[in-house]
Amino acid sequence: MNYLELSIEIPRSNPSLSDILVAFLAEQNFDSFSEENGKLLAYVAEDKYVRADVDEILGQFGVEASVKVIPQENWNKQWEENFSPIVVDDNLAIKAPFHSETFNTKHTIVIEPKMSFGTGHHATTSMMCRLIAELDLNGKTGLDMGCGTGILAIYASILGAAKIYAIDIDEWAYENTEENAARNGVGNIIASQGDVEDIPEVDYDFVFANINLNILKKQIPTYARLMKKNAVLLLSGFFLTEIDQIKQVCADCGLTFAKCISEEEWTACVFEK
């Protein structure tokens, strides 16, 4: 059986469109996704591809896709090429179950992404991991909002967090978090499907949210309300040019800007309460 690769150019003005398209295409039998040079790559078994339905989705969002056939014998190679190991400084290596390499890093996390983002390949994820490594999480309770593969929650657990609530609006994402947590021997992540109104009413020592600008602006007030005094908020999913909007919302919620880092025009920030 052959696979098809759809390559979709994502407008820089609307980076969150990737997440939206993943949700729609997952309902059309697409079973894996990755991002590469501003493009969303989506894969589907050739016999499950319904062109008319996919064209309708793409037309709805004003984007087009090029289609390439990947012969069956090359599918595993294509998968491995898209999900190569990632090393974040000397602190963390992120690899898939089929990678045999070992790394001279403090920690290694094994992630099978399925239909969820968060493999570490995207600049926002790797920057979040870089900032998390700087935190003292021992015995603390946190929230990973928009958890995807669960990589941020898993990393927090490895670094000593006592309990992490992981929430994603997509069912396949939170289930992927549970699977990856078990794969890494992590048992203190409570994963669930939901949105901002479903965040457990808990006093959080830390909150991670790697989503997108518009959603963050709506949800930051809830994060701030649930954060303890001296708690930290790590945010990413937006461009460096948009940081002033995030700073303003956080300031309005009583959060103080601590630092930011940037990569490939994306940025990640730390705020404190």
Average pLDDT, the chain: 88
pLDDT of residue 76: 52
Each residue's pLDDT tens digit, 40-60 = 888 888 888 999 999 999 999
Q: What is the dihedral of CA 89, 109, 181, 184, to 10 degrees?
A: -140
On the 0-12 / 13-18 / 19+ scale of CB atoms within 10 A, 13 is exposed
Residue 140 three-state SS: coil
Which structural domains are found in the chain, ordered by start?
3-81 (3.30.70.980), 122-272 (3.40.50.150)
Sort residue 221 into left (φ over 0), alpha (ψ -120 to 50) or beta: alpha
Mean pLDDT of 232-251: 94
- Asked if the model's pLDDT at residue 263 lies above 80, the reply is yes
pTM (predicted TM-score): 0.75
